[in-house]
């Protein structure tokens, strides 16, 4: 299984995860449309936060079910966390993964605006 590293721009948030990078999801909800992330989802067991949780800013909106993390220093949103049917998941912003060319990804559209 492939191992990847990523994080925010200034380095205050750094993470690693295991898994293949396939398609990216581009959501049109009110937050994602402004933030511009390209997302891929992995089980939390495949994710390791390499910096202190205290470095994370967290934003909640709508139903408050997703922890949208961002760096309070540089403003970048490298990942989010939530539970889906009892399974803890991490949504990785592929734009924040070292060595990933976002233009080489197959991007699928997700209509989060109408949920």
Domains of the chain: 3-110 (2.170.150.70)
> pTM of the predicted model, to two decimals?
0.94
Angle at CA 25, nearest 5°, toward 88 and 67? Answer: 35
In angstroms, rounded to a whole number, what is the distance separating the alpha carbons of residues 108 and 37?
12
Which residues, including other chains, have CB under 8 Å from residue 111's CB and lie 6 or more apart? 28
> Under DSSP, is residue 80 helix (H, G, I), strand (E, B) or coil?
strand
pLDDT at res. 115: 78
Q: Give the pLDDT confidence of 70-88 residue by residue, as tens digits.
A: 999 999 999 999 999 999 9
Number of other CB atoms surrounding residue 76 within 10 Å: 19
């Amino acid at each position: 299984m492939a191992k990847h590293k990523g994080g925010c721009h200034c380095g205050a948030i750094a993470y690693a995860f295991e898994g293949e990078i396939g398609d990216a999801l581009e959501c049109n909800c009110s937050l994602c449309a402004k933030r511009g992330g390209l997302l891929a989802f992995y089980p939390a067991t495949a994710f390791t936060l390499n910096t202190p949780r205290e470095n994370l800013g967290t934003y909640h909106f709508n139903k408050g079910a997703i922890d949208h993390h961002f760096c309070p220093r540089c403003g970048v949103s490298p990942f989010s966390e939530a539970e889906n049917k009892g399974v803890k998941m991490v949504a990785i912003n592929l734009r924040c993964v070292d060595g990933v060319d976002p233009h080489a990804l197959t991007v699928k559209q997700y209509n989060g605006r109408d949920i």
